[in-house]
Structure 1
Amino acid sequence: MTYTFGDNLATGRRAWELGHQIADAADRLGKTPALDVRPEDADVVYTLYGWWRFVVRSSRAYWLAWENGYSVESLPLVRNILDHTVSMMWLHDGGELALTVVWNAGETHRNKLIRNVVDTGWHTAKDLETTSSPLALIPTPDENDPTYPAYQKLLGEFTHVDQLMAAYGRSTDYPVYRTLSAYSHASAQSANRYLEMKDGQVGVRLEPQRTDSHGPIIHIAMALIQAGDVISSCLARDPLRQLLERAARDIGLGAPELLRAARKKALPTNP
């Protein structure tokens, strides 16, 4: 039988095996005492590394949950994996300016959390207020800075997934993200997976309805190839390259470069 890439059992099996091979290689690489980083990627590589490990371990968490019958309940993990993977491409392309966006967004989130904690009278509020954060030291470009328009564009992309995916020509991935979001929040979709019609009456289920879709497993394998492509390119000797190229060919999508989306329009600048 001829292999055809798609939401089918053959692709699902390949994705499962290749995903585990990449995750195993990632774990071996992660056990090295220190990263051998290419100088041009030194600014962003450690944040990229953190996101990459999040992708790898979230993939393992999904596989473990899926093997134990937790299919619907683990879908939010796939949503997180997709978000982090495209964000890795975005950060690697955006460099230090994109990193500034990430750190400042983190500081903004931290400050809002502190205000919330203080307003609600948590007993830990005093400790939080006096905890310094290195993120506060990252400067934000002012309106006259040549990089200000690019910074604003990057900020919009980082805080709005639809803008992020559109910037990389991946708008067709956004409906997948939105579908998965229905299982990250209370929704009719998350409720309906535990309900069914029986003789014209609503019946209830102990476990959710399962589908024949292999989509989540395939998406995870693709994400591991893409995320691996980003981090490996930041390291001396590109240690995962051979494995990633073989995995991309075996799953039926060609070289990882075909999966590594590029920004469709250059970032704006002040005249």
Structure 2
Amino acid sequence: MTRQLRNDKELADRAERVGRGLVAAAQTLIGSGPRYTDKDRVTHVLAGWWVYCLRTGEAAFNLIKDGFVVQARPLLRLLIEHELTMAFVDQCGEEGLKAVICYGARQNKALLGKMKNAGWEGLDELEEEYAANDPAEVCGREHTNPRHGTLLGSVGNFENLTTAMDEQHRYVLYRDLSSYDHARLRTASAYAVQDESSNINIDWDNRESGYPEAIQTAVAVIVATHIISCRLVGDPLRVDIEQALTTLDLPTKDVAPRLRSR
């Protein structure tokens, strides 16, 4: 969609305005009861991810505005992952969703075993939740299906997902943001700098601009909203989406990433 990372205050202000505007339009629509063209499981999950993206985008905008840019970056990373996974499942349908569910079920089963081995107590609710999504039942005989294996490989590794969606440039940004999601030197140097005399100077506020983050947050919110609006009767958010794209000088066609042609 856009590879804009420069510190452009004017564009960032526009991005925050249209991003928050889409969130508000979505809230109004949800309040009036959106009508879906199909009520299948795929639409159900996409709708949930859409609201997750809206709420996460709203949280990121708030953090950026209040000067917590470093704290907003992990949220942007989550936004990018959800938005791209939405596009993947939207186009792959039930097969793509089943791959997501199967991968999650396998991960959860392995995690539960490790928690038991580590001596964690009070796991009853977690065991009940995971038992409802047992990999043997969720995946069935899909392990014999080569296409399922390919889809599973895409959702289980974000680099593979960006390749499948022909969005490799998003992986670079995703990896860059991961250095704020883990204990790395970047999170330390954001708040503490050692000068030539070895004095440690603390920068409590760390007032970075947050302009690139605001722009990318808005883009993720726009794409997620585009995907779900296409599944609503009458495409009710189309005008809002196109206005948002035009405001950011972005094309109004081919809004969401597409599966790479083989």
State whether TM-score is above 0.5: yes
Deviations 1:223-270 (A, max 9, x none): 111111101111111111111011111110110x3331211124xxxx
Residues 142 and 148, structure 2, Cα contact 8 Å, conserved in 1: no
Name the CA distance, whole Å, in 2 between partners of 1:177 and 1:132: 29
> Which stretch shows the higher mean deviation, 42-51 or 62-71?
62-71
Across the aligned residues of Structure 1 and Structure 2, the Cα RMSD in angstroms comes to 2.1
Name the CA distance, whole Å, in 1 between partners of 2:22 and 2:208: 26
- CA 1:141–1:253 in 2, change beyond 3 Å: closer, same or farther? farther
> Which stretch shows the higher mean deviation, 57-66 or 120-129?
120-129
Residue equivalent to 1:263: 259
Q: Which amino acid aligns with 2:201?
A: V
Residues 141 and 151, structure 1, Cα contact 8 Å, conserved in 2: no
Residues 195 and 202, structure 1, Cα contact 8 Å, conserved in 2: no
Q: CA deviation at 1:13?
A: 1.1
Residue equivalent to 1:112: 110
Tell me if 1:154 matches 2:151.
yes
- CA 1:208–1:151 in 2, change beyond 3 Å: closer, same or farther? farther
Q: Which amino acid aligns with 2:260?
A: K
Query: TM-score, structure 2 length as denominator?
Result: 0.89
Name the CA distance, whole Å, in 1 between partners of 2:256 and 2:67: 32
Name the CA distance, whole Å, in 2 between partners of 1:98 and 1:245: 28
Aligned pairs (5 A) from 1:97-246: 97-131=95-129, 133-136=131-134, 137-142=137-142, 144=144, 148-207=145-204, 209-212=206-209, 214-246=211-243
Number of residues paired by the alignment? 256
Deviations 1:71-125 (A, max 9, x none): 1122100100111001100010110001111221222232123212221222213
Residues 37 and 235, structure 1, Cα contact 8 Å, conserved in 2: yes
Residue equivalent to 1:37: 36
Residues 66 and 74, structure 1, Cα contact 8 Å, conserved in 2: yes
Name the CA distance, whole Å, in 1 between partners of 2:12 and 2:102: 39
- CA 1:43–1:10 in 2, change beyond 3 Å: closer, same or farther? same
Residue equivalent to 1:252: 249
Residues 105 and 138, structure 2, Cα contact 8 Å, conserved in 1: no
Name the CA distance, whole Å, in 1 between partners of 2:244 and 2:129: 45
Q: Secondary structure at the match of 1:44?
A: helix
Residues 81 and 158, structure 2, Cα contact 8 Å, conserved in 1: yes
Q: Secondary structure at the match of 1:201?
A: coil
Q: CA deviation at 1:32?
A: 3.7
Residue equivalent to 1:269: none
Higher relative contact order (CA 8 A, sep 6+): 2
Structure 2 residues without counterparts, runs of 5 or longer: none
- CA 1:20–1:150 in 2, change beyond 3 Å: closer, same or farther? same
Q: Secondary structure at the match of 1:204?
A: strand
Residues 53 and 221, structure 2, Cα contact 8 Å, conserved in 1: yes
Q: Secondary structure at the match of 2:260?
A: coil
Name the CA distance, whole Å, in 1 between partners of 2:78 and 2:126: 27
- CA 1:142–1:174 in 2, change beyond 3 Å: closer, same or farther? closer
Q: CA deviation at 1:199?
A: 4.2
> Which stretch shows the higher mean deviation, 195-204 or 87-96?
195-204
Name the CA distance, whole Å, in 2 between partners of 1:23 and 1:126: 37
Residues 36 and 236, structure 1, Cα contact 8 Å, conserved in 2: yes
Name the CA distance, whole Å, in 2 between partners of 1:83 and 1:127: 27
